Chains A and B, each alone.
Chain A
């Protein structure tokens, strides 16, 4: 009997302990402080862990009392983590976000940042940033809401890259027009490499290539179709769908392009010299990160690469249009206990010592103008950096994103349907338009 009672007590204690354990967790142990001390949490998918730690170290050098606990995830896992945390009221103090739908989803959990920006950089703080970054930071805000719920950390253009080693060996010219693209692909065929490697498995990649084509045909029309002032079935956009299809039917893209992912496979193949051209973006310069050792020969100082814009389309704009936008932006949780410290960290990572560390790795282009890596490993790397940051980025006018995930998905699906021959350009345009009408109500 005594033994039974003892066992009963043990069971009760176990239940109580488990019960308490189940109730625990979730409470933030942040200490409320101001300025450069206290503790913060940061979660994102970008920058990579190693770079984030360098940024934290740079911040802590000037603010030794600050403690920043950072966790970097893969993007899909990050979305799961963020949603779970937002739902359970345990948002990290600083979060990485993409502009548009993702930022809007968490808008109610984020604090407006214009006061923080103004306090740090002065009244004309917006001029520090590339215009497209400022424009996209508020993408999707409800009418009349002029708040900045995130500020851009990194920006980018979407463009093509050439393997100059192959081009030089074949005495080929970087194509400026569609006809030149076709001719160059034909000239480069027959080797061990793909003349034009299109890693079209990824919806984002299909969409950014299409947006480059569409803006080269009729600049800005896509966004009019998106806001309802025009239609996706406009013949100019149907033509853009048609040109997308021609990448496959005219033998420009490699066989099986719709099954190849951009990362890791497409990028690895391009870096290994298995492709002469690939559509990616400004971030490809990160392959020449001088803090890394053992870079492949093509990536060393960007010696084997040259960026170029998507060729012009017959009857379209005379010059290729620049498409791009924010890569990653940062937001601060509304319920952070350390708003001052969070502001200080966020602005430091965007334009201070932390930002310098970030940019030294060539991770992507800085959101602010005039911030350059402290060390270039070659003249070519410097020349490419200058092209991207001084010539292209200030001119980026067209967004690489659509405003809603529904439209991003609908466009990606339509492009996939064309690539596999399941949809005609007209049918694809009609499908996207139907979804647009649903989204716009």
Chain B
């Protein structure tokens, strides 16, 4: 039997086996990813309460969306959230990682302490920080009264101008440990001989960080950036517990507004439209990053 004939016989079998191996993943992907997306887009064309038969409105929900001032607020808040969460979180996380990468006594304990907020339930964090920020009886206000720092005696969560920023502060507090952990892992992958060579060449600490360590952590920065963007777009529990999106929708985020529309206002069709836009933003952000920086930071490849 020639090689060619053998190939002819085995190829369909291999194809079948390969397909069957892929099938479970494809089926699960279809059920849990593709179907909900299709279902969501279909729902976004309806005026529908999620239970009773809906009415087709075509792209009407999309037109309404861009005339909805609350939706525009959610977009603005998402922008603030991405900007003011990712950068401080990365800088503080990097600083902590640098510190805790040194041989400090009890550094395992410090690492655990800084990471603890990331494993707490956002609901618990929200309740606790709401009390901390309470201008009547909270710790921050009490500190302000005791020290004469009047700016601390302010209802940051109760003021529409500051509510979203107060929520961002809590979010940064919560997730900085996560960034720290990423950077710690990245730092431990840096070849120590590179750092030694830099030292021999006369590079100081700042120069080593700026020119060696920071660039070598590129994949970590990009991973955190991608996770940060997606996490920001998905933010729900923390904001819901801290402010419920208020006051007067000032701290509303895309997921909190989606939830309110779907389950409080019984407008599942409109909520699906917000979800569709959210999905679109997430996909565009991710693809743009992959296009701009290559897929290396996702796969671990250098390119």
Q: Are A and B subunits of one complex?
A: yes
Interface residues of A (CB under 8 A from B): 1, 4-5, 7-8, 11-12, 14-15, 18-19, 22, 76, 79-80, 83, 86-87, 101, 105-106, 108-109, 194, 197, 201-203, 254-261, 264-265, 269, 274, 405-406, 409, 413, 416-417, 419-420, 422
Give the residue name and chain of the B residue nearest to A418 (CB): B248
What are 13 residue pairs bridging A and B, where the CB atoms are less than 8 Å apart in the complex?
A: A15-B20, A76-B263, A87-B51, A197-B136, A255-B141, A258-B158, A259-B133, A259-B155, A265-B130, A406-B265, A416-B246, A420-B159, A420-B250
Q: Mark B127-141, 1 if CB is under 8 A from A, else 0.
A: 100110111110001
State in angstroms the CA–CA spacing of A22 and B35 once bound together.
13
Which applies to chain A's interface (DSSP): helix, strand, loop or mixed?
Answer: helix
- A76-B263, A108-B52, A406-B265 known; A261 and B24 CB under 8 Å? no
B17 interface neighbour in A8, A87, A265, A269, Cβ under 8 Å: A8
Q: Give the docked Cα–Cα distance between A261 and B123 (Å).
A: 13
A409 to B248, CA, bound (A): 10
Complex Cα distance A194/B135, Å? 11
Q: Which of A80, A106, A258 contacts B247 (CB 8 A)?
A: A258
- For the complex with contacts A202-B244, A265-B127, 17 further pairs of A-B residues with Cβ separation under 8 Å are A1-B13, A4-B13, A8-B20, A14-B23, A18-B27, A83-B50, A83-B268, A105-B50, A108-B52, A109-B51, A256-B133, A256-B155, A259-B134, A265-B134, A405-B264, A416-B248, A420-B159
Instruction: Given A259-B133, A416-B248, A419-B247, decide whether A11 and B52 contact each other with a Cβ distance below 8 A.
Output: no
Choose from A260, A264, A405, A422 the contact partner of B265 (Cβ within 8 Å): A405
- Which residue, A7, A76, A106, A255, has most C-beta atoms of chain B within 10 A? A255
Evaluate contact between B134 and A256: CB separation under 8 angstroms: yes
The interface residues of chain B lying within 8 Å CB-to-CB of A261 are 130, 244
Residue of B at shortest CB range from A417? Answer: B248
Contact between B131 and A265, CB atoms less than 8 A apart? yes
Decide yes or no whether B49 CB sits under 8 A from chain A. yes
- Is B52 touching A105 in the complex (CB atoms < 8 A)? yes
Of A7, A11, A269, the most chain B CB neighbours within 10 A belong to: A11
Interface string of B227-249 (1 = CB under 8 A from A): 00000000000000001101111
How many angstroms from the CA of A423 to the CA of B292 in the assembled complex? 45
Residue contact B137 to A269, C-beta cutoff 8 Å: yes
- Alpha-carbon distance between A79 and B265 when the two chains are bound, in angstroms: 11
- Determine how close the nearest CB of chain B comes to the CB of A105; give it in whole angstroms: 5
Query: A88 CB to closest chain B CB, in angstroms?
Result: 11
B135 x A18 contact (CB < 8 A): no
Residues of B within 8 A of A203 (CB): 244
Interface residue tally on B, bucketed by range:
35 or more
CA of A256 to CA of B131, assembled, Å: 11
**When the two chains form their complex, are residues B17 and A255 in contact, meaning their CB atoms are under 8 A apart?**
no
The answer to whether A201 touches B243, judged by C-beta atoms less than 8 angstroms apart, is: yes
B residues within 8 A CB of A80?
263
Residues of B within 8 A of A406 (CB): 265
Please, how many angstroms separate the alpha-carbon atoms of A76 and B259 in the complex?
9
Contact A256 B249 (CB under 8 A): no
In the complex, are the beta carbons of A83 and B13 less than 8 A apart?
no
Contacts of B259 in A (CB 8 A): 76
Q: Which of B27, B159, B250, B263 contacts A19 (CB 8 A)?
A: B27
Distance, CA A202 to CA B136, complexed state (A): 17
Bound complex: CA of A417 vs CA of B69, how far in Å? 14
A5–B20 Cα distance when bound, in Å, is: 11
With A4-B14, A15-B23 known as contacts, the answer to whether A259 contacts B158 (CB < 8 A) is yes
Q: In the A-B complex, list the 5 residue pairs whose CB atoms are closest, starting with the nearest.
A: A256-B155, A259-B158, A11-B20, A256-B135, A259-B157
Residues of A near B190 (CB, < 8 A) are none
Bound CA–CA A14/B135 (angstroms): 58
CA–CA, A106 to B49, complex, Å? 10
Known: A7-B17, A106-B51. A15 touches B24 (CB 8 A): yes
Rounded to whole Å, the gap between the CB of A79 and the closest CB of chain B is 4
B286 within 8 A of A: no
A76→B256 CA distance, assembly (Å): 12
Contacts of A260 in B (CB 8 A): 130, 134, 136, 158
B113 at the interface (CB under 8 A from A): no
Cβ of A297 to closest chain B Cβ, rounded Å: 19
Whole-angstrom CA separation of A202 from B51 in the bound complex? 26
User: Is B28 on the interface with A (CB-CB < 8 A)?
Assistant: yes
Are A22 and B51 interface neighbours, CB within 8 A? no
In this complex, what residue of B is CB-closest to A254? B136
Residues of A within 8 A of B159 (CB): 259, 420
Shortest Cβ gap from A431 to chain B (Å): 11
In the complex, residue of chain A having the shortest beta-carbon distance to the beta carbon of B166: A259
User: How many angstroms between the C-alpha atoms of A19 and B20 in the bound complex?
Assistant: 13
CA–CA, A113 and B156, complex, Å? 49
The A-contacting residues of B in range 254-281, CB under 8 angstroms, are 259-260, 262-266, 268
Q: Is B16 part of the contact surface with A, judged by Cβ < 8 Å?
A: yes
Does B116 count as interface, using CB distance less than 8 angstroms? no
**A409: which of B14, B250, B265 is its contact (CB, 8 Å)?**
B265
A257 to chain B, nearest CB (A): 7
Given A259-B243, A265-B130, A416-B246, answer yes or no on A11-B23 (Cβ-Cβ < 8 Å).
Answer: yes
Residue ID in chain B nearest A17 by CB atoms: B24
Contacts of B264 in A (CB 8 A): 79, 405, 409
In angstroms, how far is the closest chain A Cβ from the Cβ of B76?
16
C-alpha gap A259/B16 in the complex (Å) = 61
Chain B residue with the shortest CB-CB distance to A423? B248
Query: A15 touching B248 by the CB < 8 A rule?
Result: no
Closest to B157 in A: A259
Chain A minimum-CB-distance residue to B10: A1
B160 contacts partner chain A, Cβ-Cβ < 8 Å: yes
B246 touches A105 (CB 8 A): no
Which of chain B's residues have a CB closer than 8 A to the CB of A106? Answer: 51
Q: Contact at B51–A86, with CB atoms within 8 Å? A: yes
Distance between B143 CB and nearest chain A CB, rounded to angstroms: 15
* Measured CA separation A403–B229 after assembly (Å): 39
Chain A residues within 8 Å of B136, by CB: 194, 197, 254-256, 260
